[in-house]
Amino acid sequence: MKIAAEQIASVLGGEVVGDATIQVSTLAKIEEGQEGSISFLSNPKYVHHIYTTKASVVIVNKTFQPEYPVSTTMIKVDDAYKAFSKLLEYYNQVKLMKSGIEQPSVISEGAVYGEELYLGSFCYIGKNTKIGNNVKIYPNTFVGDNVIIGDNTILFAGARIYSETVIGNNCTVHAGVIIGSDGFGFAPNADGTYNKVPQIGNVIIEDNVEIGAGTTIDRATLGSTIIRKGVKLDNQIQVAHNVDIGENTVIASQSGVAGSTKIGKNCMIGGQVGIVGHLVIGDNVKIQAQSGVTKSLESNSAVQGSPALSHADFLRSYSHFRNLSKIAEDLEKVKKNVI
């Protein structure tokens, strides 16, 4: 797929400076550009690369004035970063624009699907499952019985969607994601053994949610585990039964949320965080990486540490922790004079 600089300029509404007929086929960082690639220059820190880059085409800001001769072709636009992002998105869409039903694959009795479905080989669609329009399901993916999947949603290779799960529109579910596995519920017996508490709820994923590779989301004991509109989950996150994660909350990789905890909107949760069960976390809460949250948190709070303290308190205490030897020594000196 080769495309000329003048065609790109016309898509982006930009102006070509240099050879307008030069063709590109790949995207690259400006410092890694090769013949046939297009790049961009936005951050002033990287300006020097424009004079040496091997990229055939570089998108630059309209305001950019080179101090030295530039041999590459430039496309001048209002905002080079945004223009390049637009190009990336377009490039990605083309790459992912698969369709058709590959064989062998299984679509069970009663399952229905919309237009432009891509269903890869070795995919299994359970009974009475409903799949919307323009859904892309990569090979080796399992979708159980009575699942609902909205329009424009992508399931990458080997995702596992247990029965009764509901997934909204415009979601991206990466490889190895597991949605709807049993919650971890066991009732102890007098002899030390446990009885399993049946887990008959489901998982609801609302629209515009992205779920990273290897993340697991357990079904509710009763009712639903809910991931609300616009939530972004990174890789290898664990979401336990009956958790409810609010709109546009973002969680970094390897964090875990225990059962029945409710997290508010627009929270930012770092990597490797643990949140115990049955808490209520407000809106706009910030939790630093590796924190352990053991108490409910009010909206707009920021915490760190295990167990978590307010962010400011943690930093203060930790700065003294670093000097704890000095504190202990000083105290010994004081004691010698006093006690």
Active-site positions read 241
| Residue in this structure with the two tokens 């990229």, named with its chain if needed | 55
Structure tokens at 214: 């290897």
Nearest 5 degrees, angle CA 311-CA 315-CA 321? 140
Q: Nearest 5°: CA angle at 232, between 138 and 291?
A: 125
User: Interaction with its own copies in 42-81: which residues (CB under 8 A)?
Assistant: none
∠ at Cα 123 (121, 126), nearest 5°? Answer: 150
Task: For the CB of residue 69, give the shortest distance to its own copies in the complex, in Å.
Answer: 26
Region for residue 152 given its phi and psi (left: phi exceeds 0; alpha: psi -120 to 50; beta: otherwise): left
Please pick, from the candidates 73, 129, 254, 260, the single residue that binds its own copies as defined by CB under 8 A: 254
Distance between CA atoms of 258 and 216, rounded to whole angstroms? 12
Which pair of structure tokens corresponds to residue 92?
């990605």
| Residue closer to its own copies, measured from CB, 132 or 259 | 259
Q: Which two tokens stand for residue 227?
A: 């991931």
- Per-residue interface string for the shown chain with its own copies, residues 78-117, x marking contact by CB under 8 A: -------x--xx-xx--x------x-x-x-----------
Confirm or reject binding of residue 128 to its own copies (CB under 8 A).
no
Q: How far is the CB of 44 from its own copies (least distance, A)?
A: 18
Please report whether residue 148 would count as binding its own copies according to CB under 8 A. no
Residues 15-44, interacting with its own copies (CB under 8 A): 27-29, 32
Binding segment toward its own copies, per CB under 8 A, in 14-22, 42-50, 62-70, 218-226 = 218-226
Task: From 12-20, 44-52, 109-117, 139-147, give the range in contact with its own copies by CB under 8 A.
Answer: 139-147
Residue 265 near its own copies by CB under 8 A: yes
> Cβ of residue 306: shortest distance to its own copies, in angstroms?
5
- C-alpha to C-alpha distance for 58 and 49, rounded to whole angstroms: 10
Residue among 73 and 215 whose Cβ is closer to its own copies: 215
21 CB-contact burial (10 Å; exposed 0-12 / middle 13-18 / buried 19+):
exposed
- Contacts of 63 by beta carbon, 8 Å cutoff, 6+ apart: none
Residues touching its own copies: how many (CB under 8 A)? 103
- Please select the residue that binds its own copies; options are 250, 279, 280, 302, rule is CB under 8 A: 250
Q: Which of 200, 295, 296, 299 binds its own copies (CB under 8 A)?
A: 200
Does 142 bind its own copies (CB under 8 A)? Our answer is yes
**Strand ranges for 150-190 from DSSP E:** 154-155, 160-161, 166-167, 172-173, 178-181, 186-188
Q: Decide whether 63 or 322 has the Cβ nearer to its own copies.
A: 322
Comparing CB distances to its own copies, the nearer of 21 and 121 is: 121
- Report, in Å, the least distance between residue 26 CB and its own copies: 9
Residues 6+ apart with CB under 8 A from 172: 153, 154, 156, 209, 210, 211
Q: Please say which residue, 77 or 107, places its beta carbon nearer to its own copies.
A: 107
